[in-house]
Amino acid sequence: MGTLFYLFIPALFVWRDVYFFGMTNLSLYIHIPFCLQKCRYCDFYSVPGGDPLVISRYIDAIGREWGIYEDSGVLGNAAINTVYVGGGTPSALDLDMWGRLEEALFSRINKSTIREWSVECNPESFTIEKGRMYAKSGATRLTFGVQSLNARELSVCGRAHSAEKAIEALGDERLDGLFDSIGADIIYALPGQTADTLDNTLSAILSIPRVKHLSAYELTVADGTPFGRHKKMLPLPSEESAAEMYELIGNRCTERGMGQYEVSNYALAGFESIHNRAYWSHKPYIGLGASAHSYIHPKRWSNAAGIERYISAVSTGTLINNAVDFEETLTPLELSREIIFLGLRGIDGIDEDDFAARTGISFCPEGRKEILRGYVGSGLLKNSDKKWTPTPRGMLFADMMARELML
Ligand code: SF4
């Protein structure tokens, strides 16, 4: 945690150390923190319900935050490469509110360089009219928070939608002309889940031809959530069962022709998320909204995680306390550790020359070379020329390998 508390761009003393001007591609994230209700496992910054007046002021604040960036000139020659509207539940915004977001933000950004634009949707609040509006704004990709198609699992998780509603949303043929890609997110190792119930969920999702991307995250029971508070009473699958589920997901995706490109992500060729790959490769991104994170090397920071705090911080546009909850400056050593940690989780792997150019540190000193060769021998890594990439099995052991390889 840094000691500087500042409000975004006007704090130019912060930005003189940020190497923004050589940057060409930028990812833009917009956080919509409103949800219909709070899921029992949820550890994200999101609030149930949402007074229309508050939502409207929040959207105006997002527009103002972008204006602060524009006015400061710090975006330099950066071109927006990807946009990701996440949450929370972006589809919880009604048509009027999305229209306001269009006016406050989307109509002001240069869309000509955008290669991918994703919107997270939840089945209970998505409608085809909203889909049409997203597409009109420029969205190319929807990703639906399905989590499970088992009624009991959905209920235990406190999800606001039924399995039928999720299938109806994914199965809507009218999506075909609107978006390049439709994806589904699921969670596995849920309380009471078995390989059979997971398999039913997978079969139903993967049998829908328009689904081209699947994210499958193992449940994390976070402290401070209802799941966290009742952890001891939850019938969680054993570690072995969770590992079997992971394998099952990989097998079902392979049968469907989807490749695994990150430990939790699978896609048909050409439908991998460009935005997520940019995060994992330490490319620069700006996050707008309460609790949104940004990273422009070497700085990383997160906006205030509180709707009112965020709105008032942005509206003053001056230095104030607590507008940023977290900020840090990555040292070359920290950057090298993160590149190792993230690189071993996905097919982009680690390139020795790129690693050295970005960190000034060698990826392959003698001691580490031995360890890396050992992983190649045991089928966890592949090595070609100066590139080291995890195998699908290696992705499962990414954290273990990263720990052993840490400088
Ligand atoms: S819909 Fe998503 S962000 Fe909202 S409470 Fe549920 S898990 Fe959290």
- Tell me what pLDDT residue 15 has: 45
Instruction: Give 343-391 pLDDT, tens digit per residue.
Output: 999 999 999 999 999 999 999 988 889 999 999 999 999 999 999 999 9
Q: Ligand 1 pocket test: which of 35, 40, 124, 143 has the largest number of ligand atoms within 8 Å of its C-beta?
A: 35
Residue 39 CA to ligand 1 center (angstroms) comes to 5
Among protein residues, the one with the nearest Cα to ligand 1's atom 8 is 42
Residue 353 CA to ligand 1 center (angstroms) comes to 40
Is it the case that residue 79 has pLDDT exceeding 90?
Answer: yes
Domain ranges in the chain?
Answer: 12-280, 332-402
225: left (phi over 0), alpha (psi -120 to 50) or beta: beta
Find the range with the poorest average confidence among 17-26, 119-128, 184-193, 298-307. 17-26
Peptide bond into 237 cis (omega under 30): no
Instruction: Give 144-165 pLDDT, tens digit per residue.
Output: 999 999 999 999 999 999 999 9
Tokens of 239: 């570690």
Residue 89 CA to ligand 1 center (angstroms) comes to 7
Give residues (CB < 6 A) around ligand 1.
35, 38-39, 42, 44, 46, 87-89, 122, 145
**Residue 158: Cβ within 10 Å count:** 15
- Tell me what pLDDT residue 204 has: 98
Among protein residues, the one with the nearest Cα to ligand 1's atom 7 is 42
As a CATH number, domain 332-402 is 1.10.10
The answer to whether the CB of 42 falls within 8 A of the CB of 302 is no
Reference 210, options 271, 136, 161, 264; nearest CA is 271
Please report the atom of ligand 1 found closest to the CA of residue 88.
Answer: 3
Is it the case that residue 320 has pLDDT exceeding 90?
Answer: no
- Tell me what pLDDT residue 31 has: 97
The answer to whether the CB of 263 falls within 8 A of the CB of 396 is yes
Instruction: Give 100-116 pLDDT, tens digit per residue.
Output: 999 999 999 999 999 99
- Tell me what pLDDT residue 366 has: 85
> What is the total residue count of the chain?
407
Residue 380 CA to ligand 1 center (angstroms) comes to 34
Domain 12-280 identical in fold to domain 332-402: no
Rounded mean pLDDT of 53-82?
A: 90
Terminal-residue alpha carbon distance, the chain:
22
Q: Please, which residues have CB within 8 angstroms of residue 311's CB and are 6 or more apart in sequence?
A: 57, 58, 61
Identify the CATH homologous superfamily for domain 12-280. Answer: tm_1862 like domain (3.80.30.20)
Helix count (H) and strand count (E) of the chain? 16, 17
Is it the case that residue 42 has pLDDT exceeding 80?
Answer: yes
Please report the atom of ligand 1 found closest to the CA of residue 147.
Answer: 7
In whole angstroms, what is the distance from residue 336 CA to residue 331 CA?
A: 9
Instruction: Give 225-280 pLDDT, tens digit per residue.
Output: 999 999 999 999 999 999 999 999 999 999 999 999 999 999 999 999 999 999 99
Q: Please, which residues have CB within 8 angstroms of residue 156's CB and are 6 or more apart in sequence?
A: 40, 190, 191, 192
134: exposed, middle or buried (Cβ count in 10 Å: 0-12, 13-18, 19+)? buried
Reference 264, options 246, 251, 277; nearest CA is 246
